Every structure is written in structure tokens, then in C-alpha cells.
Amino acid sequence: MKATTLTSEQLSELRQHLLSIHAILGIPSPVLSASSVNYTSKTKSELADLAGTTTRTFSKWIRPFRDELRQMGVTDRTKLLPPHAVRLVCERLDIELPIE
């Protein structure tokens, strides 16, 4: 049997179908591992929206991680966080990114 390689768009569509099937059957959907989430650069305001708060409050929430973020090149005035910083913030603050 030949292995098929799926594009990221096809994989995303497949995930959505599986989540729909789980919802229809009334069973809990499987938890996706962190490695299956596609971390991309995001602004602080985008992350604040996903967390359900304001940018000002979000900035206060990430203060405890300031040293780690600075090692990643993110300062207090940085507006666009690189993917590795987005991952850190999402994991620490338990922010779920939409599957794209």
C-alpha cells in the first residue's frame, strides 16, 4: 500500500471532519498534542483576543515570563511575537489556538 502525503490544508479539513463526527456522536474529541498545533507569528492583540482579554491585561499576564521572552528577542514593546514565543505564551496561559 502506497503512503499518501497530505497537504496542510487537507490535514486541517480532515481534523475538522473528525471533530464534527465526535460532536455528532456525542463523544469527547481527542486532545491534539502540542506538536499538531501550527504556531505562527501573532500580535499581542491577537493573542489577547484569543485569551478573551484586553491587550493591556494580556501584557500584565505575560510579565512573569519576561526573562524567557527576552531571551527569545521579545521586549515589552514588541508587538509581533515570533512562533516560538507564541508557543511559550499559549502553553503558559493555556490559550488554545484555532486549528488552521
Q: What are the E-state strand segments in the chain?
A: 42-43, 80-81
Distances (CA, A) of 66 to 39, 45, 76: 20, 17, 8
Rg over alpha carbons for the chain, rounded to the nearest Å, is 17
Q: Give the pLDDT confidence of 1-50 residue by residue, as tens digits.
A: 565 676 767 777 777 887 788 778 887 766 555 456 778 999 999 999 99
| pTM (2 d.p.) | 0.62
Could you give the angle at which helices 83-93 and 44-51 cross, rounded to 10 degrees? 20
Which phi and psi (to 5°) does residue 84 adopt? -70, -30
Grid cell listed for 22: 465526535
> What tens digit of pLDDT does each residue of 62-90 get?
999 999 999 999 999 999 999 999 999 99
